[in-house]
Each structure stands twice: as structure tokens, then as C-alpha cells.
Amino acid sequence: MRAKSLLSLFALLPTFALFAADRTALLIANSDYGEHPIPEAKANVGKLAKVLEQAGFTVTVKENIEKGSHFRKELETYATTCPNGGVSLLYFCGYGSGFDRKMARTIEKPDGTKEKEWYVEPDSGIWGIADNTPYRIEDLIREFRIRSHARLHLIVLDCPYKFPKAKENQQGLMVIDPKTVPGGMVCYAAPPGKTLPTGTHSLLAESLSRHLLVKERPLGEAMEAVRAEVATKSGGKQEIWTGFSLPKDKSTSVTPSRKRNVSTSNLPPSNPKPGDEWINSLGMVFCWCPPGKFRMGVDGPPTPQTSDASPVDVVISKGFWISKYELTLGDYGRARKRNPEGREMVALVHANQPITGIKGPSALKFGSGTLDPVGKKAGCLPSGWGYRLPTEAEWEYACRAGGTSRFSFGDSARELHRYANYADRSLHQEDGSFHYGDLTANDGVGRRPAPIGSYLPNAWGIHDMHGNVSEFVQDQYLNQLPGGIDPLGDVEKRSNIVIRGGTWCSLADYCRSGFRLSCKFSNNEGHSDFRGMRVVLARKK
């Protein structure tokens, strides 16, 4: 696989953010525009804040932001408080419009000399109360793409009013590509390029407060209810516009009914139950795996691909916390400020992308060498505990989550598309060399990892163990699984290291809980865009 270079953008990330919940909201009411106020902005934010807090969101309210630089500062601060895989909602009520963006380019004259030429491009943004230029929508989305660790982003721009400072042909917001949103939805209170009739108030916030947070209601269905209600109550004067980052985002619920016990204390809870969650100082979410016994490996007659995975009995004598998601670019950037190849970090897609390209030795040292010092400094590392790669046995135990079937969810690969990013129709359509893809499944992701948490979790709440990127474990590769109590393959003479889990380009059979592969344990091992890692927090021996 070809390497993808990673450049810089994480330098401004705070190292020790404290995370209050896995659902956060930033609500902005810009009402004080001098001679052209929007008095309902504050009331709209108040309505939303109340229902969001009742639904378990941590809500931040801001009023009358003055300038684009202030918008940027607020978004930088807010976006980094969104923990891995959570839900983030940004609501802005104020003015928005198109504008002429002044741009420069260098042109070469016929005599060979070069000069700067100025030109304008149409753009759109939201206005501060004392600004001469709006804050670009593209810049707003970019802040979430490079800083937020939320899985679902809801960006709601309730600014359908005609702005006196804007030209007549620049009223309303320009359309944007919703695929630039890092998972989730963007919503305008009026279609692109349109505004409400003078004197008409927006009904978007009121309708959102009724429909968005209904438990188990798919986002697409909720927004359709909002659209219909707004149109009816406004007598056809208001029509909202929505765009979804991926088709599957429509089926995501903002408030799922599955009860989660999430702890945000500095230290993990002392008596957790299977699947209980804890968020550390970097916003990484961990799930509890209790002590227990299980059958490790692949059942059935061995094949050339599974001859090294004959089943063995294993005892996990001590419980451990395993990261709910694969390590992301954002996790690595917040902890190290550098990528695995030594360059400064950038999220080419967004911060919630699984990190790839990391080598075995670097993966092995990341826990004790990076996360332990960060945790100690933040007062969030229990005495006698430490971060590290999972053992091969711990990894499979966590993947199975108490189950005994081929996959954590059962034996049938027909359900795999709900739980894993693996070789499917979208991959085959993007690159015909992946001719073996499952043409009955199509997640729309194609030839790349998906954002973490894009698929269903297992019974203990852990995501992406069957697909997306394969993951390093501690063990030296042996041609037979080690069994017994807390087994660990020889770590003194590592030449090859075990990797576990399917990838975005794997056959369904390679995504089974017991399937194993290996690679060279060397910093000279070539770049891979399908190998990543996750970590555990466990008692030290």
C-alpha cells in the first residue's frame, strides 16, 4: 500500500482536556447586531440548551461573538472537548450570507516576470456582531475535522435572515459538500441562497428541541420530521436544508436507548461491570473486560489460513480496560504532537481517522513511553497500572466479549457489514483490483479506513475489532496459539509480531474473532495503511 504523508495541524491541541461526557454541545446566540438585532436568538438557544441538558449533553452557551477570530478561538476550545466516538452539536443563530473572498495568485507575464494578481471568489459564512467579514463555513467545518474526536457532528446554522450588509445576490448561505463534515450532518434553516421573508421568525430550534433527541430515532427520520413540522407551522414560508456526510449517518440515533455507564472521574471506577466505560484525560474511551475463561482460536478443520489458530483454553486472571476505539490520529497528536514517522501531525481526513503507518516497536512503546507519563501528569493513572498493547489472548477475549461464535455477533457473515469495515462493493468500485469484495455489502467508505465507531459495537461496547484496520498485540508470532493462564507469546526474541482483526480490504473470513496474522517486528517494516493499534490499561505484574 502506498504511504500517505502526514503534515502539521495538531500543534494547538491542549494536552490535558477534561471530558465531562460523551455528548457535547456549543450553542451560539448572536443577537446584538446594532440596528438589526435578532432578539429570538437567545430564546432559541435557551430552548435547545434545556432539552440537551436533559438528554445528558454537556452544554456550552456563548452570546454575541464579535469577530471571526473569536469564532475560531471558541471552536478550537470546544472541538477538543469532544471525546472519542461521542456526539457533538454546534448550533448558531445569527446572520449568515455570501461574500466576496479576496484571493491572490501569482501569474507569469509574457516577458517572464511574475506578479501577484488579486481576484475574488464567492464564499459564505456567519457574521460576528462587530465584523466586516464573516467567518467562513469551510473554516468552521475544518476546525471540527482536525480537532474534534466526536463520531457524529451535527452542525446547525439557523441564520435564514436577510443580512443588511450583504449584497442582494449574496443573501443566504452557499451550498457546501456535506462529505466534508467529519461524520454527521449539516443543516441550514433555509435552502442555500435563500432567506426568510422579512418579519418571519425561524422555527428550526423549536422543532429540533422536539424531534432530535427522541431515543432510538434515526437522525434522518428526525430531520424529516423537523422539515415537515417547520414547513407546516410556517405556512410554507420556511424550508430547511440538510446534508449528510455518509448515507449511514441517517440511520444513526443521537440518543440511543442502549444504557451506557460512562465514568469521567480522574481514575477508573473501582468495581466496574463488563462494558462499563471510562474516559481518560486525552478523551480516549475505555471499556472494562472482567476476568474470565474462554476458548481461543478458530474452530473446525484447519485450513492453510487457520492452521496456526487451533483452539486452546485460556484464563484471563485479571480484568483490564481496553480502548473502545482504535487509536486515532487525534489521540496520537494530542499525546505526541508527532506522527509515527516523526513529522508533525495532520488529519488528512479528520482527527477521528485510525492511525496507520505505525511500526511494531513504536506501537509497543506508545503505552508506557507516552500514555503513562501523560496520565501521571494529569493525575489520571491508577497506582500499579499502566498502558500497553493488549496480549493476543486479551485482544481475542475482548473481541469475543463473552461469545463463542465465529464473530462477536454470531456465526453468519451476512451481518458483518453492520459491525465492520471490510472489502465490499464500494472498495471494488473504487479499485477494481479488490475483485474479491463482498458485492452484497456497501458502506460507501471505499479504499480507506472509516472513522472510528462507524459500525456497531460488540456486547462490551468495543468497536471495530472485526474490521477497519488490523491491530498490533504484544506477542511474538508463534505457529501455535499459547494457552493457559494469561498466555503471552515469547517477547524476548521478537522477530515477527502478531496482528489481529480484519481490515478495510479483508475478506469476511479474515475478520473472524480467532483469525491471526503477523508482520516483521522492525522499524524498517514498510508503511501500511491497513495496520493500526489500540491499547489496554492493566495492572502491572
Domain boundaries, the chain: 23-98+126-251, 262-539
Mean pLDDT, the chain, rounded, equals 87
- What pLDDT shows up at residue 532? 94
Band (6; pLDDT cuts 50, 70, 90):
very low
Band (18; pLDDT cuts 50, 70, 90):
very low
Comparing 38-47, 276-285, 312-321, the range with the smallest average pLDDT is 276-285
Which three-class secondary structure state does DSSP give residue 520?
A: strand
Band (10; pLDDT cuts 50, 70, 90):
very low
Is 138's pLDDT higher than 60? yes
**Residue 457 and residue 470: Cα distance in Å, rounded?**
16
The mean pLDDT value for 131-155 works out to 89
Is 339's pLDDT higher than 60? no
- What pLDDT shows up at residue 61? 97
> Beta 184-188 vs 152-158: how paired, if at all?
parallel
Which three-class secondary structure state does DSSP give residue 312?
A: strand
- What pLDDT shows up at residue 520? 86
Comparing 135-139, 224-228, 439-443, 536-540, the range with the smallest average pLDDT is 439-443
- What pLDDT shows up at residue 260? 66
Band (33; pLDDT cuts 50, 70, 90):
very high
Task: State the number of CA atoms in the 13 A half-sphere of 215 facing the CB.
Answer: 7
- What pLDDT shows up at residue 15? 30
- What pLDDT shows up at residue 17? 34
The mean pLDDT value for 397-425 works out to 95
Which three-class secondary structure state does DSSP give residue 28?
A: strand
Instruction: Evaluate whether 72 touches 137 at the Cβ level (below 8 Å).
Output: no
Q: Grid coordinates representing 344?
A: 508533525
Is 523's pLDDT higher than 90? no
CATH class of 262-539: alpha beta
> Within 170-307, where are the H helices?
204-211, 219-233
Band (527; pLDDT cuts 50, 70, 90):
low
- What pLDDT shows up at residue 20? 39
Q: How far is CA 15 from the centre of its chain?
A: 18
- What pLDDT shows up at residue 385? 97
**Residue 93 and residue 161: Cα distance in Å, rounded?**
10
Length of the chain counted residue by residue: 541
The mean pLDDT value for 219-240 works out to 95
The mean pLDDT value for 443-456 works out to 87
Is 277's pLDDT higher than 60? yes
Higher pLDDT, 1 or 120: 120
The mean pLDDT value for 218-228 works out to 94
Is 42's pLDDT higher than 80? yes
Is 1's pLDDT higher than 60? no
23-98+126-251 fold:
Rossmann fold (3.40.50)
Q: Which secondary-structure segment (H or E) carries 378?
A: helix 372-378
Comparing 7-16, 212-221, 279-288, 366-375, the range with the smallest average pLDDT is 7-16
Give the highest mean pLDDT range of 213-217, 467-471, 523-527.
467-471
Band (232; pLDDT cuts 50, 70, 90):
very high
Give the highest mean pLDDT range of 330-334, 435-439, 457-461.
457-461
Is 14's pLDDT higher than 60? no
- What pLDDT shows up at residue 470? 96
The mean pLDDT value for 135-139 works out to 94
- What pLDDT shows up at residue 65? 96
Band (472; pLDDT cuts 50, 70, 90):
very high
The mean pLDDT value for 392-416 works out to 96
**Residue 165 and residue 144: Cα distance in Å, rounded?**
28
- Give 338's contacts (C-beta < 8 A, 6+ positions apart): 332, 344, 345
Higher pLDDT, 422 or 492: 422
- Give 61's contacts (C-beta < 8 A, 6+ positions apart): 27, 28, 29, 45, 49
